[in-house]
Amino acid sequence: MVTERVQEKWQFGHRARLALTPAQVRLVDAQAHTARTTWNLLHDWWTMVPKGKRTLALADAAIRQARKDIDWLAALSAQAAQAVLKTYFQAWKNCWEGRAEAPKFKARSRSVMSVDVPQGRDLHIKRVHRRWGMVNIPKVGRVRFRWTKDLPIGKNVNADNKITGARLIKDTLGWHIAFRVQTLDAAPEPHTGPQVGIDVGVTIPLALSDGNHQDHGRPARLANGTADRDKWLNLDEKARLLRLEQRAAHQKSFRKPGQKTSNRLKRTYDQIASLRATAKRRASDWQHQTTTELTRTYGVIVVEDLDIPNMVKSARGTLENPGKNVAQKSGLNRSISQEAWGRTVTMLTYKAARHGGTVHKVPAPGTSQRCSTTPGSRESQAMFVCKNEDCGWSDNADHNAARNVLHLYRMGHTLIPAAGRAVVRRPRGVKPATAR
């Protein structure tokens, strides 16, 4: 007897590189600056009007009037301006519910340039080549993009399989488009793979409880013991980055206070940013490949519930109580940020859901200090040796911590439900109902 598998709706994003002409780049840049200005105008309007008049209808009327009074605001389509309005109000809602900080003014030099295309029917996507596709961008026209994933277009489009919208994003490597895709696929069968505990670290990026550690082959420290802030670059790229940083410092020394940045210095900054973006892409690529392999192999993945923002806080202290080992702590914070542990857990969560597996979190305190067989102690950063005479077990400290993580899950100390299940959020500082 053949049973039909339950159909589930999946929503995911797909990012592709755009191939814009110089004229199209100027048009998209103008739209991005207009979107940023619209956000700032909304922020000023919000701070000036009384609380009782901060409604979506009045904000919409203010945007419409501004588009009539300021002609260059028309560079952004009306739908994209409405998307800015909805995003701004959602940002305040997230702030009130304790999920994010309050919206702020977007500075030109410190904000990501982006433009939203809220309606998928405006895109008119078509595949024209094995490696290229065409997409329509409002007020820009037809634009080529790199085709690296099959998208629901043409005869494959229906109410359940479609592209609901897109967002144009500019980074150091140029403009990209991120499609919002909705598909209806069969629910994955429960994963029958083994259970595994994962301990994230700096020396060993992902230590697994079964000993199948995942290493990217790039040491976290240099030969002199200092943290390698450019470990994802090869030797030639590191040498070029050093020359560019020295050149930037030399060019910056000639700039007087209040003087604008010269074009030569801007070009040097762009070259430095390009190398940084290359390193970031390599790190993200390794994370994608590693997490995909882990979710295909293991049915239950257990990780620690780490408070990463608190872990990377500076040890500088205050004038009254200065911190200790500030330089060493700064190097550790940089190494933790390079590993991007939070992004790894996020990838494991949604990929495990697509493969029928689950991801669980357990309390983090003490996992690296306890012996996974009997009570013991950690001898050094890399080695764990149990002090119990009846045990005497010794192994890598990260491997020991991974075994403890899996043991906590098997003992029932799970904090967060399985991947894909809704998690109730509550505002910051509000205790759960059971505690109240």
Tokens (6 digits) for 208: 């697994």
Q: pLDDT value at position 105?
A: 93
Length of the chain: 436
DSSP 8-state symbol, 326: H
Average pLDDT across each block of 10 residues of the chain; the chain has 436 residues. List them in order. 67 91 94 94 92 90 90 91 93 90 89 91 90 93 92 84 92 91 86 88 84 82 74 91 94 89 92 92 92 92 84 72 74 80 90 90 73 52 54 63 80 58 44 42
* H-type alpha helices, 260-396: 263-297, 308-311, 326-339, 341-354
Strand extents, DSSP E, 20-92: none
Q: How far is C-alpha 211 from the geometric centre of its chain's CA atoms? A: 28
Q: pLDDT value at position 166?
A: 93
Q: pLDDT value at position 4?
A: 60
Burial class (CB in 10 A: 0-12, 13-18, 19+), 354: middle
Q: pLDDT value at position 431?
A: 45
Give yes or no for a contact between 183 and 174, defined as CB atoms under 8 angstroms apart.
Answer: no
**CA separation for the pair 292, 303 (Å, rounded):** 16
**CA separation for the pair 29, 75 (Å, rounded):** 10
Dmax over Cα atoms in the chain, in whole Å? 82
Give yes or no for a contact between 290 and 283, defined as CB atoms under 8 angstroms apart.
Answer: no
DSSP 8-state symbol, 161: S
DSSP per residue, 360-382: EEEE-TTTTTS-SSSS-EE-SSS
